[in-house]
Amino acid sequence: HRDSVEVVKEKLRQQLQQQGEITVSEFRELIGSNRRYALALLNRFDGEGFTVRRGDLRALR
């Protein structure tokens, strides 16, 4: 489980380095999951200080 979260985190890092910001919908498509799971992961990453929420967008902190 922890390894899969790290894989998702690395995908997100790469995407954010390229495009700067991401929506929940874009993140959901990136990881091939449902909105509920995608949002839970983004909230976790916000809490860890990995990402920061700006309205409907997320960016690297």
Structure tokens belonging to residue 52: 């920061």
Q: How far is CA 9 from CA 57, 60, in A?
A: 16, 11
Q: Which helix (H) or strand (E) holds 55?
A: none
Domain with 14 in it: 2-60
HSE-CB of 17 using CA atoms within 13 angstroms: 7
Counting the structural domains of the chain, the total is 1
* Predicted pLDDT of residue 1: 78
* Predicted pLDDT of residue 2: 84
Q: What is the full per-residue pLDDT of the chain (61 aa) written as tens digits?
A: 789 999 999 999 999 999 999 999 999 999 999 999 999 999 999 999 999 999 999 999 9
Task: Please give the model's pTM, rounded to 2 decimal places.
Answer: 0.93
Structure tokens belonging to residue 9: 């985190």
State the CATH number of the domain containing residue 47. Answer: 1.10.10.10
* Predicted pLDDT of residue 20: 98
